[in-house]
Amino acid sequence: MVQQDIDRIIEMAWEDRTPFEAIEFQFGINESEVIKIMRSHLKRSSFELWRKRVHSGISQKHLHKRSDEIVRFKCSRQKSISSNKISKR
């Protein structure tokens, strides 16, 4: 995996509103693989903070935990900015 992809996975994982399912759809890696990437590329304290937040119930990292009120904002330039593989619908 190239560094640009790893950076994007970390960015998506850190963002509470991006579910693990979106990371899996875009990069083909599941939640446990995301956790391994986060553990190996973040400082220990940063990783522990992230893990605590993701599993504390505050985060909406799983689609089944999300409220229907959460609306994703998508900039019209998102694909060109983030190298996002998901096409605009």
Q: Residues 22-69: pLDDT tens digits?
A: 999 999 999 999 999 999 999 999 999 999 888 876 556 666 655 555
CA distances in angstroms from 42 to 12, 24, 37, 76, 89, listed in the order given:
14, 20, 8, 30, 33
Give the pLDDT mean for 11-28. 90
Domain count, the chain: 1
Closest listed residue to residue 54, CA positions, set 3, 4, 2, 12: 12
Residue 43 forms part of a structural domain: yes
| C-beta of residue 81 within 8 angstroms of C-beta of residue 88 | no
Domain that holds residue 42: 3-82
Please tell me whether the overall predicted TM-score, pTM, comes out greater than 0.75 for this model: no
Q: Is residue 87 part of a domain?
A: no
**Tokens matching residue 17:** 């509103």
Query: Is 89 within the bounds of a domain?
Result: no
Within-domain flag for 88: no
Inform me whether the pLDDT recorded for 11 exceeds 90.
yes
Residue 5 is predicted with a pLDDT of: 95
Residue 78 placed within a domain:
yes
Contact 72, 89 (CB under 8 A): no
